[in-house]
Amino acid sequence: MSTQQLQSKQSILEIENLSMAFGGLRAIDGVSMHIDEGEIAALIGPNGAGKTTIFNCITGVYKPTEGTVSIRNKNGQIEHIHGLKPDIINHKGLARTFQNIRLFNNMTVLENVMIGRHNSLKAGIFKAIVRDSSTKEEEQRVIEESYLILKKLKLDMYINETAGNLPYGEQRRLEIARALATDPFLLLLDEPVAGMNAQETKELEETINIIRDQEHITILLIEHDMSLVMNVSERIYVLDYGRLIAEGTPHEIKRNPDVIKAYLGE
């Protein structure tokens, strides 16, 4: 798709003919998809279909074998990001969570979120050592902003708790809070409700809607919980053996014979 088309549709993420090979294995094979500003989209498919590989290509963990990944950045400009390092992509406004929780378990809840604010810090090494007034003011700002994020995600009561001591559902939400601390315009959630009970899943469903509706952050998620996917998603992409086999609304996907055969079941 051309840059002009990308601009006209107000897509903020565009993937074109993306392929990823590991030796003789083609994990992703010519996938094209786009995510529009302000939507919640889902990427679903059987285990091993290539969903997380796509996330890794988007966020710089992998350099795609073929194809392009483009974003509309915070200044409204279109730029390619495939092949860039993860920290650079994060700085441009993309944040993600992982299938396996990756918190700093021995640090407090607040400290975990403060780490996510490092991209906004302006103080250099010298100022950090001498701790002048501007550095102290910046540190206080980071504390206040981190607390506000925790409050929005209903984690403020755990502010001084060690992250590793949180219940599983709260650890999942804390990982999202840390991702939000990087100030993204696009949030990628990799199986956010994996291992959660029904109540925790419901609470996280509400959190996902709050992030989109109140924080105006676009969301792309990978998830096997079809109830969550159908409830929150406006657009669903379906992968099977590294290829895109369907795209549509939840209503369309539920009735797509190829999707039923490959993933949802008869």
- With contact defined as beta carbons under 8 Å apart, do 39 and 218 qualify? yes
The model's pLDDT over 206-235, given as tens digits with 9 standing for 90+, comes to 999 999 999 999 999 999 999 999 999 999
Q: Is the pLDDT assigned to residue 4 strictly greater than 90?
A: no
Rounded to whole angstroms, the Cα distance separating 195 from 18 reads 30
Q: Is residue 98 part of a domain?
A: no
22 and 37 co-located in one domain:
yes
Pairing, β 186-190 against β 66-72:
unpaired
Strand order in the sheet with 11-22: 25-36, 11-22, 66-72, 78-80
Rounded to whole angstroms, the Cα distance separating 33 from 96 reads 18
Rounded to whole angstroms, the Cα distance separating 18 from 239 reads 13
Q: Is residue 249 part of a domain?
A: yes
Q: Is residue 99 part of a domain?
A: no
Contacts of 161 (CB under 8 A, 6+ apart): 108, 109
135 and 115 co-located in one domain:
yes
- The domain containing residue 160 runs over which residues? 106-183
Q: Is residue 83 part of a domain?
A: yes
263 and 191 co-located in one domain:
yes
pLDDT of amino acid 128: 45
Q: How many C-beta atoms surround the C-beta of residue 134 within 10 A?
A: 11
pLDDT of amino acid 112: 95
Task: Give the confidence band of 261 by pLDDT, cuts at 50, 70, 90.
Answer: confident
pLDDT of amino acid 16: 97
Domain boundary among 183, 208, 234: 183
* Domains held by the chain: number: 2
Q: Is residue 50 part of a domain?
A: yes
Please give the mean pLDDT across all residues of the chain: 89
129 and 167 co-located in one domain:
yes
What are the residue ranges of helices labelled H in the chain?
3-9, 51-58, 86-91, 109-116, 125-130, 133-152, 168-180, 198-215, 226-232, 250-254, 257-259
Q: Is the pLDDT assigned to residue 169 strictly greater than 70?
A: yes
Pairing, β 243-248 against β 235-240:
antiparallel
pLDDT of amino acid 146: 94
What are the residue ranges of helices labelled H in 68-194?
86-91, 109-116, 125-130, 133-152, 168-180
Tokens for 103, please give them.
Answer: 């918190």
Rg (CA), the chain: 19
Q: How many residues in the chain?
A: 266
11 and 74 co-located in one domain:
yes
pLDDT of amino acid 75: 85
